[in-house]
Amino acid sequence: MRGMYQSPLNGSKRKIDGVMRVYYDGYWIKYYEPPPDSFEVRRQLIQALTRRLFNHVEHGINIPGARLREARAAYEAETDTERKRVNGAMLAGALFNRAADIFHSLVDLQTAGVEIPPDHALMRECGHCLIEALELGKMVRHRGGDEGIDELWGEPFKAFSMPIEAFYSSRYLKIAMTMHDIDRITGAMKATFAGSRQILGLDARLDELNTTAKRKCEILRTDPEVFDVWPTYVVASDRVRNLDPIMPTIHDAVDVREAVEGTRLLRDGTDLISFIVRARVPMPKSAREYVDRCQQFRRTYIEPYLSRPV
């Protein structure tokens, strides 16, 4: 929901069509009141962020915190560059889980009446684990490709070190950046196939995908609207992904390659949007590479056709 008001400040809140929204970087995003700050709230948040992180990164790195020493020894001993990257990802996972284990124990102690000051040794250890995991997290790849999603590794440390209200504000900023990526990708898809003889009726489908994808980004899974928003988004994504090309009656090998590569480009674009929507963080490297592919496709197949004399 962009451009509804003239240049409001980031963090401005307004009720729009009966829904409270907060403004960040050009987007009005559905607002949720942050919960009261407490150790228990932070534990639940870190646990949720842990599940979310491992749900979106490559397989095999969700190493229990109890195996941290083994993971570190394997990483330090590895000399092959490619294998060392994977060992580094596994060490990051172990550090991440060790931090979550420590924080879980701290909450149990506090619940039992033990006062835990901010400078407690276990609090410092938890912070050190998260910082090291964040650094090693640069080696971790998203399940859908070779891009890391560093933003997901940074969020648990923010949840640990920032006031809850400030953490929520940082999430709205990331959602705005995510929405910008969605706009960029769908805009590139529109521009790429403008004037295509084979891919017809795409604009309305992309508009629907754009709207529903951004709507999915802004709502929490606990929101009752998810039962409407998620199916609507899935259907919109499928309608773009499954759009079949229309081959010219008289066609040659170039037309066939255009149909095959154009279909693949549409599917890869909808997959990339799905990765971004589910993670709710931007993927700038993947978005940039996809836009480059779109431009190359247009130069190869669409522009030569449009430049032919009538």
Q: Collapse the DSSP code of 147 into the 3-class scheme (helix H, G, I; strand E, B; otherwise coil) and give the result.
A: coil
Angle at 142 between CA 226 and CA 133, to 5 degrees: 105
Do β-strands 13-16 and 19-24 pair in parallel, antiparallel, or remain unpaired?
Answer: antiparallel
Do β-strands 13-16 and 27-30 pair in parallel, antiparallel, or remain unpaired?
Answer: unpaired
In tens digits, what is the pLDDT along the chain, a chain of 310 residues?
Answer: 554 556 789 999 999 999 999 999 999 999 999 988 888 888 888 888 888 888 888 889 999 999 999 999 999 999 999 999 999 999 999 998 998 888 888 888 887 888 878 788 888 898 899 889 888 888 888 877 666 666 677 777 787 778 888 888 989 999 999 999 999 999 999 999 999 999 999 999 999 999 999 999 999 988 999 999 999 999 999 999 999 999 888 888 888 999 999 999 999 999 999 999 988 888 888 899 999 999 999 999 998 877 665 4
Rounded CA separation 108/64 (Å)? 19
Rounded CA separation 288/294 (Å)? 10
Rounded CA separation 159/46 (Å)? 7
The one-character DSSP state at 120 is -
Rounded CA separation 206/45 (Å)? 34
- Report pTM: 0.82
Instruction: Residue 139: count other Cβ atoms within 10 Å of its Cβ.
Output: 19
